[in-house]
């Protein structure tokens, strides 16, 4: 019953007078945003009322952030509130990165246990089964999935993976990838420094990429991010140009002191490929430290000073998570070696004897490179957060998105806020085919984040990595509040997102 005076309750939710960043990269406009059910229905002047009215004056309203490089595949089921992400304003995560996927179940469970020691998961059948599990047990954020090449390869080759696949094995992997694509995964990821991905031949990768079809999505942790970075980037770009797939270089960086500055060249290669018409993208987390397993660092030879991770100093490698030895967490390996009066590699072996899955933070990048990559127009934001409940994980798990907005966009003024927001909203939504996400416009899903541009900032540090960020006030997923007043409500309105047919 319409009454004059504009005081009808016509919407579920109306945000009043916020600075609306629509995700497109354009500067904000002050507007009202009305939501009904799970959708934005009106942007501009909204005379009618909402059942819930949110005063957004002085705050920024943006599309919810999309974490394009997540490892929350299992956390989404084991810790479905995903507080470390939604408290940052993340409303959608792309899981299955670095070749580490959710199916087949057996190798996926082994991966799950490397992130979440001792975890129990009821089995699911294939990627379809995983997505249906998310439907039945929804997390707080939306989740979209990449098939992980390493996991497909483990399922087919088993332990005997330090070799090329036979034709029959490749056919089996292709069958598994077909199941994934039918189930609605967005694409394929590879992790070419890890077992079992590292022994994949170029032919194997090309065949699997072809199966994605023209314009299919291929994301890759390339074979080297250190001395052989440029060869590794060339391999990924060549694969894209040979097969017609769209290539995304994961967590792009140059690691090792002797390699600092090489991203100038790698980005020039990306630009040249794009000028030739190739569809190439990057993702990045905004820190000069990476995080990986201590076993991988030891195997790289870089603890000797120089190896496959480039030149590292013993003090650059800091223990993050060592089960049963929390007193070692936070200590540089070089310091432990000194106190034990043994060599650095022996110290690493001693740590691995205590916990074969020990994780480290590696301070191996330079600030200028981080900034160069972040400024590139093809760069999206991905936390690469490792969702462990133990030890001192890399603070990117809790801080990536507010760090971009508060530190790099506001304090360093490296890029305008609207461009930073674009990199975490409409750009990844378009690139991953997430229809109706990443924008504030009528018809879009109401994934929204309300934050204070003056105070938003990461608070997680290497010493205290679990601090939630400042300045993120409210987060909505599919029209429902998940965070209000900076507090997680425990609601779980997230959805499994499948590739649009
Ligand atoms: Zn990776
Ligand atoms: Cu990763």
The pLDDT of residue 501 is above 80: no
pLDDT of residue 245: 98
Least confident of 113-117, 175-179, 344-348, 452-456: 113-117
The pLDDT of residue 1 is above 50: no
Q: What is the CATH number of domain 3-61+438-456+468-491?
A: 2.30.40.10
Contact 96, 219 (CB under 8 A): no
**Ligand with smallest separation from the Cα of 396:** 2
Question: Ligand 2 centroid vs 329 CA: distance in angstroms?
Answer: 21
pLDDT of residue 500: 84
In 57-104, where does DSSP find H-type helix? 75-78, 83-86
The pLDDT of residue 203 is above 90: yes
pLDDT higher at 195 or 346: 346
Question: Ligand 2 centroid vs 105 CA: distance in angstroms?
Answer: 19
The pLDDT of residue 5 is above 80: no
* 392 C-beta neighbours (distance < 10 Å), count: 22
Question: Ligand 1 centroid vs 262 CA: distance in angstroms?
Answer: 18
* 70 C-beta neighbours (distance < 10 Å), count: 28
Question: Ligand 2 centroid vs 97 CA: distance in angstroms?
Answer: 5
Question: Ligand 2 centroid vs 343 CA: distance in angstroms?
Answer: 30
Task: Give residue 3's pLDDT band: very low, low, confident or very high (50, 70, 90).
Answer: very low
Question: Ligand 1 centroid vs 192 CA: distance in angstroms?
Answer: 9
* DSSP states along 330-350: T-BHHHHHHHHTS-HHHHHHH
Question: Ligand 1 centroid vs 251 CA: distance in angstroms?
Answer: 7
Per-residue pLDDT tens over the stretch 295-326:
999 999 999 999 999 999 999 999 999 999 99
Residues with CB under 5 A from ligand 1 (ion): 98, 221
Task: Give residue 4's pLDDT band: very low, low, confident or very high (50, 70, 90).
Answer: very low
Question: Ligand 2 centroid vs 384 CA: distance in angstroms?
Answer: 5
In 176-242, the DSSP E strands lie at 187-191, 217-221
* pTM listed for this prediction: 0.97
pLDDT of residue 8: 83
Scan for tokens 């899955």, then name that residue: 357
Question: Ligand 2 centroid vs 468 CA: distance in angstroms?
Answer: 21
Least confident of 6-20, 152-166, 227-241, 346-360: 6-20
Contact 390, 76 (CB under 8 A): no
Question: Ligand 1 centroid vs 446 CA: distance in angstroms?
Answer: 30
Return the CATH architecture of domain 65-288+365-431: Alpha-Beta Barrel (3.20)
Question: Ligand 1 centroid vs 226 CA: distance in angstroms?
Answer: 13
Hey, which residues does 221 pair with through a beta bridge? 191
The pLDDT of residue 7 is above 70: no
Question: Ligand 1 centroid vs 468 CA: distance in angstroms?
Answer: 24
Domain with CATH 3.20.20.140 in the chain: 65-288+365-431
Question: Ligand 2 centroid vs 100 CA: distance in angstroms?
Answer: 8
Least confident of 27-41, 387-401, 412-426, 483-497: 387-401
Question: Ligand 1 centroid vs 283 CA: distance in angstroms?
Answer: 11
pLDDT of residue 63: 99
Question: Ligand 2 centroid vs 314 CA: distance in angstroms?
Answer: 24
Contact 235, 268 (CB under 8 A): no
Question: Ligand 2 centroid vs 285 CA: distance in angstroms?
Answer: 10
Question: Ligand 1 centroid vs 384 CA: distance in angstroms?
Answer: 7
Question: Ligand 2 centroid vs 427 CA: distance in angstroms?
Answer: 19
Per-residue pLDDT tens over the stretch 400-442:
999 999 999 999 999 999 999 999 999 999 999 999 999 999 9
User: Alpha-carbon distance 34 to 77, whole Å?
Assistant: 31
Question: Ligand 1 centroid vs 221 CA: distance in angstroms?
Answer: 5
For 393, residues 6+ apart whose C-beta sits below 8 A from its C-beta are 291, 320, 321, 359, 385, 386, 387, 465, 466
Mean pLDDT estimate for the chain: 96
Q: Kindly state the tokens that stand for 286.
A: 């905004």
Phi-psi region of 89 (alpha: psi -120 to 50; beta: other; left: phi over 0): left
pLDDT of residue 6: 56
Question: Ligand 2 centroid vs 483 CA: distance in angstroms?
Answer: 26
Question: Ligand 2 centroid vs 197 CA: distance in angstroms?
Answer: 13
Contact 113, 130 (CB under 8 A): no
Domain with CATH 2.30.40.10 in the chain: 3-61+438-456+468-491
Report the SS3 class of residue 156. Answer: helix
The pLDDT of residue 2 is above 60: no
Work out the average pLDDT over 98-118.
95
Strand 29-36 relative to strand 9-20, pairing: antiparallel
**Ligand with smallest separation from the Cα of 384:** 2
Cα distances (Å, whole numbers) of residue 252 to 224, 285, 306, 366, 442: 11, 8, 20, 13, 34
Q: Cis ω on the peptide bond leading into residue 104 (within 30° of 0)?
A: yes
Question: Ligand 1 centroid vs 302 CA: distance in angstroms?
Answer: 18
Task: Give residue 390's pLDDT band: very low, low, confident or very high (50, 70, 90).
Answer: confident
User: Alpha-carbon distance 482 to 495, whole Å?
Assistant: 13
* 441 C-beta neighbours (distance < 10 Å), count: 15
Work out the average pLDDT over 31-46.
98
- Residues of the chain with pLDDT > 90, as a percent, come to 96
Q: Kindly state the tokens that stand for 499.
A: 């590739």
Report the SS3 class of residue 82. Answer: coil
pLDDT of residue 389: 79
Question: Ligand 2 centroid vs 44 CA: distance in angstroms?
Answer: 39
Question: Ligand 1 centroid vs 188 CA: distance in angstroms?
Answer: 13
The pLDDT of residue 97 is above 70: yes
**Ligand with smallest separation from the Cα of 221:** 1
**Ligand with smallest separation from the Cα of 386:** 2
Question: Ligand 2 centroid vs 29 CA: distance in angstroms?
Answer: 35
pLDDT of residue 28: 98
């Amino acid at each position: 019953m319409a009454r004059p005076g504009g005081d009808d309750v016509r919407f579920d939710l109306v945000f009043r007078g916020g600075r609306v960043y629509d995700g497109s990269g354009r500067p904000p406009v002050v507007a009202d945003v009305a939501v009904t059910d799970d959708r934005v229905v009106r942007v501009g002047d909204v005379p009618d009322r909402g059942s819930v009215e949110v005063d957004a004056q002085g705050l920024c309203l943006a599309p919810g952030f999309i974490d394009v490089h997540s490892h929350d595949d299992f956390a989404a089921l084991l810790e479905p509130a995903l507080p470390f992400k939604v408290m940052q304003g993340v409303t959608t995560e792309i899981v299955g990165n670095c070749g580490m996927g959710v199916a087949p179940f057996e190798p996926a469970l082994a991966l799950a246990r490397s992130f979440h020691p001792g975890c129990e998961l009821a089995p699911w059948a294939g990627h379809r089964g995983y997505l249906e599990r998310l439907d039945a047990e929804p997390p707080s954020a939306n989740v979209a999935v990449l098939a992980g090449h390493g996991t497909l390869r483990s399922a087919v080759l088993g332990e005997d993976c330090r070799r090329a696949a036979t034709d029959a094995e490749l056919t089996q992997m292709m069958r598994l990838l077909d199941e994934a694509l039918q189930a609605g995964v967005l694409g394929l990821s590879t992790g070419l420094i890890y077992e079992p991905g590292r022994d994949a031949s170029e032919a194997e990768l090309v065949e699997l990429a072809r199966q994605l079809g023209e314009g299919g999505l291929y994301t890759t942790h390339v074979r080297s991010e250190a001395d052989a970075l440029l060869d590794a980037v060339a391999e990924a770009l060549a694969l894209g140009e040979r097969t017609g797939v769209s290539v995304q270089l994961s967590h792009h960086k140059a690691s090792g002191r002797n390699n600092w500055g090489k991203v100038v060249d790698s980005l020039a290669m990306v630009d040249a490929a794009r000028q030739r018409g190739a569809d190439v993208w990057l993702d990045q987390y905004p820190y000069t430290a990476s995080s990986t397993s201590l076993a991988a660092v030891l195997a790289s030879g870089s603890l000797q000073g120089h190896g496959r991770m480039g030149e590292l100093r013993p003090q650059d490698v800091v223990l993050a998570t060592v089960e049963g030895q929390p007193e070692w967490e936070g200590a540089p390996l070089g310091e432990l070696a000194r106190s034990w009066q043994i060599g650095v590699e022996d110290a690493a072996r001693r740590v691995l004897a205590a916990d074969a899955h020990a994780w480290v933070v590696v301070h191996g990048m330079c600030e200028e490179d981080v900034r160069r990559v972040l400024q590139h127009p093809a760069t999206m934001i991905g936390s690469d957060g490792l969702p462990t409940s133990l030890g001192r994980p890399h603070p990117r798990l809790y801080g990536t998105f507010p760090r971009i907005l508060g530190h790099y966009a506001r304090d360093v003024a490296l890029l305008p806020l609207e461009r930073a927001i674009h990199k975490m909203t409409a750009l990844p939504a378009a690139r991953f085919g997430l229809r109706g996400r990443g924008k504030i416009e009528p018809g879009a899903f109401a994934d929204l984040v309300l934050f204070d541009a003056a105070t938003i900032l990461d608070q997680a540090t290497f010493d205290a990595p679990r601090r939630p960020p400042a300045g993120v006030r409210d987060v909505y997923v599919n029209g429902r509040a998940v965070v209000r007043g900076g507090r997680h409500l425990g609601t779980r309105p997230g959805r499994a997102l499948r590739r649009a047919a």
